[in-house]
């Protein structure tokens, strides 16, 4: 599973690489990462919760693939994450920072209901946008950990 995340780590989290790689390569890497995560789910399909995890990944992969390889986020949703002055400088149709998102107006977004459109409550100290697929992935991961996670053996003195 770590191998499936390597493209995302390389393209989104390492400052030396994330700003230098062309968007087309980043998009291909994100799709590759999603496919590898689905392969992980297939290989572990016997575990409880993995089918739900896979469904979330399919939802995310569908909207990502339908929109050129990046996850769409609308300017309306993005306005809750960035100051207006910063958002106004970002081109619609361009990458949203160094992350996996592309800034697209809702009418120009394919499968807009599956895009990054949900936000944490305003009182949350950490603000992020997420998709329906992300929620399904989280539910599948929770179910997997709940049913397949083994508690550490406790030593009795």
Q: 82-134: per-residue pLDDT in tens?
A: 999 999 999 999 999 889 999 999 999 999 999 999 999 999 999 999 999 99
In degrees and rounded to multiples of 5, residue 71 shows phi and psi of -80, 120
Check whether 153 has a pLDDT greater than 60: no
Check whether 21 has a pLDDT greater than 60: yes
The whole-number average pLDDT for the span 28-33 is 96
The reported pLDDT for the residue numbered 83 is 93
Element (H, E) at 130: strand 129-130
The reported pLDDT for the residue numbered 61 is 98
The reported pLDDT for the residue numbered 154 is 52
- State how far Cα 79 lies from the chain centre: 19
The reported pLDDT for the residue numbered 155 is 52
Continuous H helices in 15-83:
15-18, 23-43, 50-66, 75-78
Residues 6+ apart with CB under 8 A from 124: none
Tens-digit pLDDT profile for residues 49-87? 999 999 999 999 999 999 999 999 999 999 999 999 999
The reported pLDDT for the residue numbered 2 is 84
Q: How many Å apart are CA 108 and CA 80, to the nearest integer? A: 20
Q: How many Å apart are CA 138 and CA 6, to the nearest integer? A: 20
Q: What is the pTM of this model?
A: 0.91
Q: How many Å apart are CA 98 and CA 101, to the nearest integer? A: 8
């Amino acid at each position: 599973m770590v191998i499936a995340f390597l493209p995302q780590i390389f393209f989104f989290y390492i400052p030396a690489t994330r700003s230098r790689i062309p968007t087309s390569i980043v998009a291909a890497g994100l799709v590759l990462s999603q496919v590898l995560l689905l392969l992980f789910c297939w290989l572990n399909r016997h575990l409880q919760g993995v089918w739900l995890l896979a469904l979330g990944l399919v939802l995310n992969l569908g909207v990502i693939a339908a929109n050129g390889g990046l996850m769409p986020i609308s300017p309306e949703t993005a306005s809750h994450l960035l100051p207006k002055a910063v958002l106004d400088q970002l081109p619609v149709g361009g990458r949203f920072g160094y992350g996996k998102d592309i800034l697209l107006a809702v009418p120009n977004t394919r499968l807009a209901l599956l895009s990054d459109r949900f936000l944490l409550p305003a009182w949350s100290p950490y603000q992020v946008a997420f998709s329906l697929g992300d929620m399904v992935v989280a539910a599948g991961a929770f179910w997997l950990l709940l049913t397949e996670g083994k508690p550490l053996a406790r030593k009795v003195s």
